[in-house]
Structures are given as structure tokens and as C-alpha cells.
Copies of this chain bind each other. A is one copy, B any other.
């Protein structure tokens, strides 16, 4: 099975049924009708051994590739439309491809996102997905936070970091372990939530590198400081089961890989934002506030600064 047959068999079926795809997989490029005047472009790469463990379950991996990229579009308040896949893999393993493409297709289809093109090459396993989304109203940027804003976060934090313990230990035996692994492999891109609050929130980012690191991007882009109250962080029952509270909090603060949405919202809009989240079925928790200054700090229950071992998040090449 060469690359052309492989694409035809495993990836062409992920083209979906969008009417705005004029030419999908199979020419030098794809042709689509522009879904809006303003477009959002995002790309994320996952490298084996760096972003996910070697011999990862391919269906889960495919879903995760879609989800982490969709999360970037969500953080801009864009509606996902089209995807292209740059897939480099060491061999054309049919079972692997069946599972991977199935997971990828499931992740994309949940948001009506059509795979319209790509490039399949041979080499060390590296998966890069490019997404194009439509922007209907104003975008959510990192740069709009104002002193006085509340800081909110969707879902729960730290689960994906805890899952890494399980992945390296090689096991899942209890319900809470199954839950944590699902949080790692199948993060929930908060696309609807972002859309619902896009006219209400000042700034947004998705939490991929760790809460403090990603809030640091908002603080830097907005020229403000952010204070987090550690005791307010939403922690799942599964994470409580998994480890002592101090570790759970550390995971929540610096863990990354959660792909939850962090929002900065003016006090006057807080109730509207919380209402919108409830309508979407998403939990949204106030965890801190935006103040003057720069940087991100985290306070404990007594209001004292928490010393975190590493607030800068994951960085390649550090």
C-alpha cells in the first residue's frame, strides 16, 4: 500500500459532507468556499516521545490530535471548518492507520470539520494538523484582559498531568484512572462555550502548557498581572483520589495538557458568562483576578504566595 492508496483508503473518507468543500483530497490543493470574511488559522504538531508516549493507542492519539487543534480555534472563538493533515509515519501499518484515522475522524466530525487535504510522508512519527475556522463576531485574544477582570477556567485542571503518571506506570485499573486517562487522550475543545462568551469575555487562551504559563501569555499580551487563588482551582474527584491534595494542586497549576479554556471577564459580565456556560453544559469556575502589574502569582488559602517549582510551563528547547 503506497501513500496514494493509503490516503484514499484512510483519509479521503474524513472529508465529511460540507457543501463548501469544492475540491477535497486528490488534487495539488483543496478548494473551499470561504466560510466567513474573517478566518482563523491554527496548527499544532504532536511528536512521538515528546507530546505523547511511544506506542500510544492510535485511535486515542487521532482523537487527541483533533481535540488539541480544535481547542486552539476555540480559544479564538472561531468555528472549525476545514483541516489538513501533515502525517509523517515510519511505516504504513494498516491497523494503526485504521485506528488513527477513525479517532481523528471522530474528533473532527464532532465539530463538523472536514479533512480536505494533507501530505503523508515516511519518517519518525510526527503529526501536524492545520485548521481553518470561521470568525463570526469579534475574536477572543490574549491581549484584551483588564485590571479588575475575573479569571475563570472551564472544566477541571490537572487531570491530564495525572494521566501521565499512569501512562508511565503503564496502568489503569480503577474508574478514576480510566477517567484521568480519558481526560488526557480525549480533551474537550470548548468550542461552543467560547462562541457563547466571545462577546462577553475580554481575553482567552487554552491551557496547553500549564495554567500559570498560559495565563502568563495573557498577562504579557495584555500588560497586566494575574493572581490565582489556589484554593479555588477546580479539581476532579478522580484527581483527588489519585494523589495528595498538595500534588493535585501542583498538577492543576503547572500540569498542562488540559485544553481547558481560561477567560478574563469584567465583573459586570460575570453572571452573563456563567449563565452562558450553564447553557452550554460546561462548568466554569472563578479562580482569580486580573490586577495591575505583570506576571502571574498563585496564593494559598491564607493569601500567601505559593512557591511553585516551575511556573513557566512546558517549553521546547529550554
Contact = CB atoms under 8 A, between A and B. Distances in A.
Interface string A237-280: 00000000000000000000000000000000000000000000
B42 A38 contact: no
Given A23-B141, A72-B28, A3 B128 contact: no
A11 interface: no
A41 interface: yes
B42 A30 contact: yes
B130 A86 contact: yes
A28 B75 contact: yes
Interface stretch (A47-55, A103-111, A156-164, A174-182): A47-55
Interface string A139-162: 101110000000000000000000
Most chain B CB within a 10 A radius of its CB, from A2, A22, A126? A126
Interface in A21-49: 22-23, 26-34, 36-49
**Interface of chain A, main secondary structure:** strand
Contacts of A135: 31
Interface in A44-94: 44-51, 72-73, 75-76, 78, 82, 84-86, 88, 91-92
A120 interface: yes
B23 A139 contact: yes
A315 interface: yes
A50 B117 contact: no
Contacts of A82: 41
Contact of A36 (B34, B85, B126, B204): B34
A123 B122 contact: no
Contacts of A45: 86, 88, 119, 121, 128
A1 B43 contact: no
A15 to B, nearest CB: 13
A62 B317 CA distance: 20
A140 to B, nearest CB: 8
Given A316-B3, A317-B92, A26 B221 contact: yes
B38 A22 contact: yes
A41 B117 contact: yes
Given A76-B28, A119-B43, A1 B317 contact: yes
Contact of A316 (B49, B118, B121): B121
A229 interface: no
Contact of A120 (B48, B92, B117, B316): B316
A205 interface: yes
B31 A76 contact: yes
A116 interface: yes
27 contacts: A3-B315, A3-B318, A26-B142, A27-B142, A28-B72, A28-B204, A28-B206, A29-B75, A29-B131, A30-B40, A30-B42, A31-B41, A32-B38, A33-B37, A34-B34, A34-B38, A41-B117, A42-B117, A43-B84, A43-B86, A43-B130, A45-B121, A45-B128, A47-B124, A86-B130, A92-B317, A130-B130
